[in-house]
Amino acid sequence: MFGKMLIANRGEVAVRVIRACKEMGIETVAVYSEADADALHVVMADESYCIGGPLAKDSYLNMDSLVTLAKRTGASAIHPGYGMLAENADFAQLCEENDIVFVGPDSGVMRKMGQKETAREIAKEAGVMVTPGSECLADAGAALAAAEEIGYPVILKARLGGGGRGIRVVRSAEEMTNAFDAVRKEAMSSFGDDGVFLEMYLENVKHIEVQLISDRQGNVVVLGDRDCSVQRRNQKLIEECPAPALPETLREQLYGAAKRLAERVGYVTVGTVEFLVKDDRYWFMEMNTRLQVEHSVTEMVSGIDIVEWQIRTAAGVPLSFTQEDVGVKRHAIECRICAESGANCMPQTGKVEMLHIPGGVDVRFDSALYQNCTVTPYYDSMLGKLVVCADTRDGAIRKMKCALSEFVLVGVENNREMHMRFMEDGEFRGGTYDTGLCRRVL
């Protein structure tokens, strides 16, 4: 097992990884930008170092600085968290070249599955259905030609990245040029690669993902599935495990498809395969080669510490459990608490003047917030994840309503009231909702 690990991230996920390392007896090295000098992860780690200015490109995305610091402090591994460099194959390769373990799949696998058009081909080879789509597009003219062949609406996607960035739905030829230019610009800004491709756009579908973990000995175990269909502008707001209103036969098909894909590429550590589901059909969307924000709901239901086992499998430790040991008998729901205005959902900043975190059995708030901390404009607006678990879905919804009513955050405008609206919405409570729910509720 690793003796010391550098966490190449910030905020909630850095805190989460530090906690796991402490429980495992691993020393931690935190990095921070000038804007994060007073951040919680800075004081929690055994060692902390400032690596640059407030902008992520000057600090958290500086690959050479991160690797140099890891070597200087004697850290034998780097955990990338999620976002930032978590799915950057060049960073994973740089770690490998410097004999530092990157906590994730190797750079070759990450490169294959990170390039979405390549991942689609691998999925087809593994017998997994994909939507009609294009190869990487040279320009808007090529995008127009591909869209004419596939049929509108289509969705333009950055070939790299995730988190809802680098995506535009195009409903007519007149929209294509502006949308293509916007996606290419956002892709280069967010991921350092302006490659764009397109797919047929499926409306009002369920967004279902399968959480898996695998070791270097070839064992692949599915830890469960999640419904992530409550989305606004391609950003997930609520996740639940397991997905409601999903036929068991279809659930088993999704599990089988995810395992085949992981085995096909020799995947190691934690990963998530995302699908679009409509009635009794499903289509592969992408594979996230990293820890996901919503891993918490799967932990609550499965009882398995996903971050701990991500670290263990990266160190070469074989899984101590099999598929038969994993049960999904309870239900968990996660609400992402974000710093945003209620009127136009724009990101907000401010100082936390008062903070009360809900408590009780099976209530969890993953966050880096604390009294008097300052929320800056430089990073993602998510403040934390409120997660509850109960024996039934109805029980989980009731528990979430109680937790939301108890949650108090003064000083930074946030979306607590929005989540309460979802918990009281009939379509959400029925479990049959799809990706169009936000348009109908908000």
Q: What is the CATH number of the domain that holds 162?
A: 3.30.1490.20
Q: Are residues 228 and 344 in the same domain?
A: yes
Q: Are residues 237 and 190 in the same domain?
A: no
Count CB-CB contacts under 10 A for residue 276.
Answer: 22
Residues of the chain with pLDDT > 90: what percent?
86
Q: Is 264 a catalytic residue?
A: no
pLDDT single digits (tens) 124-156? 999 999 988 888 899 999 999 999 999 999 999
Q: What is the CATH number of the domain that holds 268?
A: 3.30.470.20
Domain boundary among 200, 218, 238: 200
Q: What is the per-residue pLDDT for 117?
A: 79
Q: What is the per-residue pLDDT for 191?
A: 75
Token pair belonging to 354: 């008062």
| 238 inside domain | yes
Instruction: Report how far apart, in Å, the C-alpha atoms of 362 and of each of 86, 102, 368, 396 are.
Output: 29, 32, 19, 10
| 115 inside domain | no
| 32 inside domain | yes
For residue 419, what are the domain limits? Answer: 206-441
Q: What is the per-residue pLDDT for 161?
A: 65
pLDDT single digits (tens) 407-430? 999 999 999 999 999 999 999 999
pLDDT single digits (tens) 338-349? 999 977 789 999
| 116 inside domain | no
Domain boundary among 150, 179, 200: 200
More confident residue, 158 or 224: 224
Domain boundary among 103, 120, 151: 103
Q: What is the per-residue pLDDT for 154?
A: 94
Q: What is the per-residue pLDDT for 159?
A: 82
Nearest CA to 122 out of 109, 132, 136 is that of 109
The catalytic residue among 10, 120, 290, 393 is 290
Q: Are residues 195 and 210 in the same domain?
A: no
Instruction: Report how far apart, in Å, the C-alpha atoms of 387 and of each of 16, 133, 137, 188 are.
Output: 14, 36, 40, 34
Q: What is the CATH number of the domain that holds 20?
A: 3.40.50.20
Residues of the chain with pLDDT > 70: what percent?
99
| 126 inside domain | no
Q: Are residues 343 and 299 in the same domain?
A: yes
Contact 121, 130 (CB under 8 A): no
Over residues 115-122, the mean pLDDT reads 86
Nearest CA to 73 out of 26, 16, 22 is that of 26
Token pair belonging to 337: 């608490």
- 271 pLDDT above the threshold of 80: yes
Token pair belonging to 151: 């049929």
Q: Are residues 292 and 339 in the same domain?
A: yes
Q: What is the per-residue pLDDT for 442?
A: 80
Look over the chain and give the mean of its residue pLDDT values, rounded to a whole number.
94
pLDDT single digits (tens) 83-109? 999 999 999 999 999 999 999 999 999
User: What band does 263 get if pLDDT is binned at 50, 70 and 90?
Assistant: very high
| 114 inside domain | no
Over residues 31-55, the mean pLDDT reads 97
Over residues 368-397, the mean pLDDT reads 97
Q: Are residues 226 and 194 in the same domain?
A: no
Q: Which pTM does this prediction carry?
A: 0.92
Over residues 338-362, the mean pLDDT reads 93
Number of folded domains that form the chain: 3
| 119 inside domain | no
- 162 pLDDT above the threshold of 70: no
Q: Are residues 217 and 189 in the same domain?
A: no
Q: Are residues 262 and 364 in the same domain?
A: yes
Q: Are residues 416 and 276 in the same domain?
A: yes
Buried-state track 46-68, b at ≥16 Cβ within 10 A, e below 16: ebbeebbeeebeebbbbbebbbe
Q: Are residues 400 and 255 in the same domain?
A: yes
Beta bridge partners of 350: 375
Over residues 216-241, the mean pLDDT reads 95
Tokens 């950057």 appear where? Answer: 88
- 163 pLDDT above the threshold of 80: no
Q: Are residues 246 and 377 in the same domain?
A: yes
Instruction: Report how far apart, in Å, the C-alpha atoms of 381 and of each of 406, 414, 417 are.
Output: 21, 9, 16
Q: Are residues 46 and 143 in the same domain?
A: no
Token pair belonging to 229: 């269909």
User: Distance between CA atoms of 44 and 16, rounded to whole angstroms?
Assistant: 10
| 185 inside domain | yes
Three-class SS of the chain: CCCEEEECCCHHHHHHHHHHHHHHCCEEEEEEEHHHCCCHHHHHCCEEEEEECCCHHHCCCCHHHHHHHHHHHCCCEEECCCCCCCCCHHHHHHHHHCCCEECCCCHHHHHHHHCHHHHHHHHHHCCCCECCECCCCCCHHHHHHHHHHHCCCEEEEECCCCCCCCEEEECCHHHHHHHHHHHHHHHHHHHCCCCEEEEECCCCCEEEEEEEEECCCCCEEEEEEEEEEEEECCEEEEEEECCCCCCHHHHHHHHHHHHHHHHHHCCCEEEEEEEEEECCEEEEEEEECCCCCCHHHHHHHHCCCHHHHHHHHHCCCCCCCCHHHCCCCCEEEEEEEEEECCCCCCECCEECCEEECCCCCCEEEEECCCCCCEECCCCCCEEEEEEEEECCHHHHHHHHHHHHHHCEEECCCECHHHHHHHHCCHHHHHCCCCCCHHHHHC
Token pair belonging to 33: 């930008």
Beta strand 27-33 with 374-375: parallel, antiparallel or unpaired?
unpaired
Token pair belonging to 323: 């598929």
